[in-house]
């Protein structure tokens, strides 16, 4: 074992040291890192110095990248990089009422990336360029720990069930009109409510803000169960809050954790993070 792995939470999340991404690393090191990712779901690699090209190349070690659709977070350019930022390139803070800032607020709702796609994401990687002195954490909730802690009756209730996911659900919680009519018109996608890790067999409850309806249940029953499952998953015991330091890159398993960004004094302090998203290997049902 050439990497050092330190747990960050009793149930999941670990800091891994011994890899300098820009300098390069061996296939053995990457195999250890990948194993740590499967085991701990959230991996923090501190002290990195990267540009977008290096972040993309590193992310591609995990698999092919998703192309982000043009949106306010990537200046409307389709790209492998999604920027989360609150300052212009000249350094001026962007006012909170700017459409770009409103769009990014959807990140503050618990979700798992790309669950509105038929093939949802395997993992996302977020690299910190600028961070505020206080606030602006990214929180992660373990859907594995949440599954393990469910009572037998609820486990039986969701086994084999499918939920419908749509991106409009989280955007509509932030502000009306964030979703284009074309995007709203796309049909929701079907996802298994329980996902099993192919390496270690651990089960995770697959839920989050994009999940809107459970097939085979009436609206009220479905809504009540989804709210109960989300509250259960995001209880404090199952949450790791990552306080950012410049140079951190955090990799999280979208099959096994939910995440959300927390607020900070964004009228005063800058926060710039760049995200890459690795595609999953196929539909979940």
What gap in Å lies between CA 250 and CA 243, rounded to an integer? 11
- For residue 14, the minimal CB distance to Fe ion (Å) is 20
Q: Which C-beta is closer to Fe ion: that of 66 or that of 113?
A: 113
Q: Which C-beta is closer to Fe ion: that of 212 or that of 261?
A: 261
What gap in Å lies between CA 228 and CA 151, rounded to an integer? 13
What gap in Å lies between CA 90 and CA 184, rounded to an integer? 34
- For residue 3, the minimal CB distance to Fe ion (Å) is 26
Q: How far apart are the first and last CA of the chain?
A: 36
Nearest C-alpha neighbor of 116 from the set 77, 71, 52? 71
Half-sphere exposure of 39 (CA within 13 A, CB side): 15
Q: Which residue is nearest to Fe ion (CB)?
A: 113
- For 149, 156, 225, the CA distances from 153, given in Å and listed in that order, are 12, 5, 12
- For residue 81, the minimal CB distance to Fe ion (Å) is 14
Interacting stretch for Fe ion, rule CB under 5 A, among 37-45, 109-117, 213-221, 224-232?
Answer: 109-117
- For residue 107, the minimal CB distance to Fe ion (Å) is 5
Which residue from 58, 65, 73, 113 is in contact with Fe ion, where contact means CB under 5 A? 113
Q: Which C-beta is closer to Fe ion: that of 108 or that of 155?
A: 108
Interacting stretch for Fe ion, rule CB under 5 A, among 64-72, 107-115, 185-193, 240-248?
Answer: 107-115
Q: Is the dihedral of CA 220, 223, 227, 229 positive or negative?
A: positive
- For residue 258, the minimal CB distance to Fe ion (Å) is 9
Q: Which C-beta is closer to Fe ion: that of 32 or that of 266?
A: 266
Residues 34-73 that bind Fe ion (CB under 5 A): none
Neighbouring residues of 15: CB distance < 8 A, sequence distance ≥ 6 = 5, 6, 8, 43, 44, 45, 46
Interacting stretch for Fe ion, rule CB under 5 A, among 48-56, 105-113, 143-151, 185-193?
Answer: 105-113
Q: In degrees rounded to 5, what are phi and psi of residue 7?
A: -70, 140
- For residue 113, the minimal CB distance to Fe ion (Å) is 5
Q: Which C-beta is closer to Fe ion: that of 16 or that of 273?
A: 273
253 binds Fe ion, rule: CB under 5 A: no
Nearest C-alpha neighbor of 82 from the set 95, 94, 91, 69? 69
Chain residues in the site for Fe ion (CB under 5 A): 113
């Amino acid at each position: 074992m050439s990497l050092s792995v330190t747990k960050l939470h009793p149930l999941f999340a670990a800091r891994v040291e011994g890899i300098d991404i820009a300098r390069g690393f061996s296939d053995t090191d990457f195999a250890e890192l990948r194993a740590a990712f499967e085991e701990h779901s959230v991996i923090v690699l501190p002290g990195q110095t990267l540009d977008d090209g290096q972040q993309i190349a590193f992310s591609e070690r995990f698999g092919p990248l998703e192309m982000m659709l043009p949106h306010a977070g990537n200046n409307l350019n389709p790209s492998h990089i999604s920027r989360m930022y609150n300052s212009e390139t000249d350094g001026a803070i962007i006012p909170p009422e700017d459409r770009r800032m409103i769009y990014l607020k959807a990140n503050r709702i618990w979700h798992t990336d790309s669950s509105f796609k038929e093939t949802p994401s395997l993992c996302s990687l977020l690299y910190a360029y600028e961070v505020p002195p206080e606030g602006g954490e990214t929180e992660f909730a373990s859907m594995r720990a949440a599954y393990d802690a469910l009572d037998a009756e609820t486990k039986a209730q969701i086994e084999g069930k499918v939920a419908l996911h749509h991106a409009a659900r989280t955007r509509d919680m932030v502000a009306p009109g964030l979703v284009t009519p074309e995007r709203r018109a796309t049909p929701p996608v079907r996802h298994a409510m329980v996902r099993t890790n192919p390496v270690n067999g651990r089960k995770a409850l697959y839920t989050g803000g994009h999940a809107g309806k459970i097939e085979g249940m009436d609206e009220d029953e479905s809504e009540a169960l989804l709210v109960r499952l989300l509250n259960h998953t995001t209880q404090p015991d199952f949450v790791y809050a990552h306080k950012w330091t410049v140079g951190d890159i955090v990799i999280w398993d979208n099959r096994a954790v939910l995440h959300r960004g927390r607020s900070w004094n964004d009228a005063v302090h800058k926060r710039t993070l760049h995200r890459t998203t690795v595609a999953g290997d196929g539909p979940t049902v």
